[in-house]
Structure 1
Amino acid sequence: MADLYGAGWIDNRSYGCARTGSGATHQVGDCGFSPRIKEILPDPFPNFGRLDAASKATCYSVALALEDAGLAHPLACGEGVGIIGASQAGCARSDVRYYKDYIDSGRASGLSNFFIYTLPSSPVSEASIHFGLQGPLLYTGGTENIFAGCAALAMELIENQEASVMLAGESGPEGALFMVLAARSSMEQAPWRSGAETMAVLRQGGSFPHIARKLADIGNKIVP
């Protein structure tokens, strides 16, 4: 089973790294959160302002997760690194925004940039492009404990050697939580939490900060 090496989260009040415990609070902005972007995304991110709220949350969270796992971003070699994202709401808010703009502005002057975010896979696609991920890219939806299912699928891809490292997480307009899962043979450092410990926490569910705290409260022991 793959193990956990780090996790990053953001919501409309705060953001942080689960393993290192670093983080900060921030003021609520137009997209539900507005942290100082350079604190989380120090590398240039062209057209970041056009992203919808779920895509911004995903990119923030992925950056924090990579930092927490000790991985640079964008990755120097992302060939074996993939990403899988989950969402309960899908892209409903972006759908409404797109069609409202279409009705108000018409086909000729409507903002076509809104259209790409009517695809629920857009948040993980934006993160994959920016961070140089070249492994599998998947999106899954659902209504009950979809994060646990998302992580289980990521671990299965690693076990089947379809990827050496996977970012797995859940996102939405109000925030996101992503984690770095990897085979021990592909990482220089020791894992932070075992795959079994990680899945036990995810099956309990909870808010993104709550899940991060539960992972931190396990202790330092890694189950072989």
Structure 2
Amino acid sequence: MKAFVTGLGWVTSAGMGRGRSGDRFAFGKGELPILSRQRIFADPYPRFGRLDDFSRLGLAGIALALADGGFDHCHDKRNIGLFAATILGSMATDITYFDSLLPERGGLASPNLFAYTLSSTFLGEAAIRFGLSGPGFVANLTGKGELDPFVLGLEGIAFNDCESAVCGFCNTSVPSVDPSNGQPEGALFLVLERSGLAGGHSYGILCRQPDGQIFVDDVPVPDCQKMVEVLQSNLPEHK
């Protein structure tokens, strides 16, 4: 299975960035950056401020990847799939919501929190915002397959579910729970296309071999750090 990589965006504790903006990807340590609407979207988007932290992180990662690939200004419906993976998902919001049920026998339960107790809510937000009509789902990671989210996107294209796909991971920590099996907090998303942008530049071809190994062009990539490093090295300014 293979596809062209045409967009790349991320949010980690080391910062947020896009592949073509000269930003360097790293997981880093510490807290994630504060995500304001102004840092992600140029035009007003009142709903962004109402999102919970997990959904805001996932939507930001998708938005940055789409912008990097030049897909952020077209709002006509497009058959682009959304595939994400997470370890703890929206658990932090789930806990906060259930805490709001305890007083007054649920009389103080927050409808806004309830709307974000699904790990897939941010995919719906992205689909509405960017006119994406392809399939979408969030899968649970075990922490063992760091590149598994990107295989989901390759499968979506290979099985003709969509012509293009936005795929990646979104992880936030939950203080009362074992962080995330060693996976750092953050979001990283790629835009994959069956064929490269007409007249544009692709980062290269992401490929999953029959034995399960992941390659960028002819370079094996064992993890996200190496994958992004190789993808960005294919940009003309790095040649």
* Fold in common (TM above 0.5): yes
1:191 aligns with one of 196, 202, 221: 202
Unmatched 5+ residue regions in structure 1? 25-30
The alpha carbon displacement at 1:23 in A equals 7.5
The Cα offsets for residues 80-128 of structure 1, whole Å up to 9 and x where unpaired, read as 1120111011221111111112224542222111112221211222222
Aligned to 2:47: 47
The alpha carbon displacement at 1:203 in A equals 5.6
Aligned to 1:212: 228
**Alpha-carbon distance in 2 for matches of 1:135, 1:38:** 27
The alpha carbon displacement at 1:162 in A equals 1.7
Instruction: Classify the secondary structure of the residue corresponding to 1:109.
Output: coil
Aligned CA RMSD, in angstroms, stands at 3.0
**Is the Cα–Cα contact under 8 Å of residues 86 and 140 in structure 1 kept in the other structure?**
yes
Structure 2 CA distance for partners of 1:199 and 1:18, relative to 1, 3 Å = farther
Please show how residues 113-124 of structure 1 align to structure 2 within 5 Å.
Answer: 113-124=112-123
**Alpha-carbon distance in 2 for matches of 1:188, 1:141:** 37
Instruction: Classify the secondary structure of the residue corresponding to 1:151.
Output: helix
The Cα offsets for residues 46-91 of structure 1, whole Å up to 9 and x where unpaired, read as 3222211111111111111011112234x33333112011101122
Structure 2 CA distance for partners of 1:121 and 1:214, relative to 1, 3 Å = same
Unmatched 5+ residue regions in structure 2? 26-30, 173-184
Question: Greater helix percent: which structure?
Answer: 1
The Cα offsets for residues 173-219 of structure 1, whole Å up to 9 and x where unpaired, read as 24211110011166552421211299337962356xx7533532466
Aligned to 2:68: 68
* Identity across the alignment (%): 27
**Alpha-carbon distance in 2 for matches of 1:76, 1:129:** 9
**Is the Cα–Cα contact under 8 Å of residues 6 and 197 in structure 2 kept in the other structure?**
no
Q: Quick one: which amino acid aligns to residue 139 of structure 2?
A: T
Aligned to 1:172: 171
Aligned to 2:11: 10
**Alpha-carbon distance in 2 for matches of 1:151, 1:187:** 23
Structure 2 CA distance for partners of 1:97 and 1:32, relative to 1, 3 Å = farther
Aligned to 1:28: none
Aligned to 2:192: 181
**Alpha-carbon distance in 1 for matches of 2:166, 2:144:** 17
Q: Quick one: which amino acid aligns to residue 109 of structure 2?
A: G
Q: Quick one: which amino acid aligns to residue 194 of structure 1?
A: I
The Cα offsets for residues 145-187 of structure 1, whole Å up to 9 and x where unpaired, read as 4452221121122123221110001002242111100111665
Aligned length: 213
| TM-score between both structures, scaled by the size of structure 1 | 0.81
